[in-house]
Amino acid sequence: MKTTSSSILLIDNNFSFTEVVVNFIARNTSFQYEIMVAHSASEAKAIISEFQPAIVLTDFNLPDMSGINFLPELRKLLPQCQIIVSTLIDTKEYRQAAANFGVQAFIPKSELYDCLPMTLERLNPTPSTVRL
């Protein structure tokens, strides 16, 4: 059996939501991910100082900073990182702001469970392979 490994930093202020998403990723993707969770931009920056994720999945509504304002910081801290934005607010302005900062995917939270597995596989096409 082959499994693959990659890393995700999940940033969302809703504790219940992050727990559900972590479990969902574990059950509904073909890769084995190492997932770190932050509930604010400042917590994410602290994690990033020690953990360099391949993918960041972030909300725009963070308690200490707007996700739109956080995207340029994420790009500076993690220039090669794949970024997915998932938010309840699905507007043309939010989608354009995300695109302006090189976000690879914008997924409304209402579509997250339908779109996330396919999006993760698209962003992680050649992960390292481990044989078990």
Say whether pLDDT at 37 is over 90.
yes
Take residue 19 and report the two structure tokens written for it. 């727990």
Take residue 127 and report the two structure tokens written for it. 């992960």
The answer to whether the CB of 82 falls within 8 A of the CB of 123 is yes
- Model pTM? 0.87
Dihedral sign (CA 60, 41, 97, 109): negative
- E strand intervals along 31-104: 32-38, 55-58, 82-87
Consecutive H or E run containing 79: none
94-107 pLDDT per residue, tens: 899 899 988 999 99
104-132 pLDDT per residue, tens: 999 999 999 999 999 998 887 554 443 33
Instruction: Give phi and psi for 59, each to the nearest 5.
Output: -90, 160
